[in-house]
Amino acid sequence: MVRSHSFDKLLELKREKVMATVHRICAKRGLPLPSINFEGCVEEFEGQLAHYHPDANTICISERQLIIQNFDDLDATMAHEVSHILVQDHSPRFREEEVTSNMAGWKPPGGIVHITEWNKSAIEPNKEREIKPDMIRCNYHFCRKKADLTQCHHCQNYYCEVHLEPYEPKLGFHPDSTSNSGHPCAPFVDYLADKKKAEDKRYAEALGKLVKGKRETVSNDYSYDYAPSFDYSAYTHVISNNEHEPATPKSNRNWLILLVLVVALFLIYLFFIR
């Protein structure tokens, strides 16, 4: 099946929406963040909107369901699945938790004031019901092997050697259980985004410095036009040096400072002699 770019884009947005909603509900309710499996699951039965694996703290939602459900449906589905972290059946107690999760997942549209005092206690973190991650079997959905497990720094789940490496969860990627290494890790995406932001910032700073340096050079060249009798020997040395091997920014800077000083002295000299 050939899929259009906009179709893939929409699925990508839905996937982000699902992760954001789960993040929001878990953060507000103080629940352990589950992994989200978009890669398909053998345990899914037809017509199921999504399901939750308590042993792996994983929510599975298939691509098919991602296509069928709209953004509001996805919010409701995720509120339901996150509530299964607390209660596994569909008892009245579960329905209460589901209502609370729906509230916690609700994001007011821009311009609406969120009244936080209202039923605040219901969405306050619930420490006693915290769930411990499975530390015996690999938390990767398709693995579940009993092995020596190591905790992922990003999602805090436990994985065997093969599945420890985190990767960005991708749509339309169906691993055939054992042949693939690594685990889809939603918090890893945030980590990559933060890292990229830091790199971009460093790059922008370096560029800023470079541009500033260029400007200094230009203004110096300009001064030379008005100081034709200046002894160039020192300067030509730098130029010839630059032609063969670029001077390091630091030595360049020292030369510039020296030049500015010499030119300034020369101009003062000219001014007072005349």
Q: Which two tokens stand for residue 16?
A: 């982000």
CA distance 207 to 170: 33
Closer residue to Zn ion, CB minimum distance, 91 or 236: 91
Sequence-distant (≥ 6) Cβ neighbours of residue 172 within 8 angstroms: 11, 63
| Among the residue ranges 34-42, 105-113, 124-132, 208-216, the one whose residues contact Zn ion (CB under 5 A) | 34-42
Applying CB under 5 A, does 160 fall inside the site for Zn ion?
A: yes
Distances (CA, A) of 31 to 37, 116, 127, 160, 190: 18, 19, 8, 24, 18
CB of 152 to Zn ion, least distance (A): 3
| Among the residue ranges 163-171, 189-197, 207-215, 226-234, the one whose residues contact Zn ion (CB under 5 A) | 163-171
Q: Which of 61, 78, 185, 259 binds Zn ion (CB under 5 A)?
A: 185
| Among the residue ranges 11-19, 54-62, 191-199, 266-274, the one whose residues contact Zn ion (CB under 5 A) | 54-62
In the shown chain, the binding pattern of residues 241 to 270 toward Zn ion, with x for contact by CB under 5 A and - for none, equals ------------------------------
Phi, psi of 185 (to 5 degrees): -130, 105
CB of 166 to Zn ion, least distance (A): 4
Helix axis angle, 5-29 to 186-225, nearest 10°: 110
Q: Which of 105, 166, 169, 184 binds Zn ion (CB under 5 A)?
A: 166
| 25 burial via Cβ count (<10 Å: 0-12, 13-18, 19+) | buried
Report the interface residues with Zn ion, using CB under 5 A.
41, 43, 60, 138, 140, 143, 152, 154-155, 160, 163, 166, 185
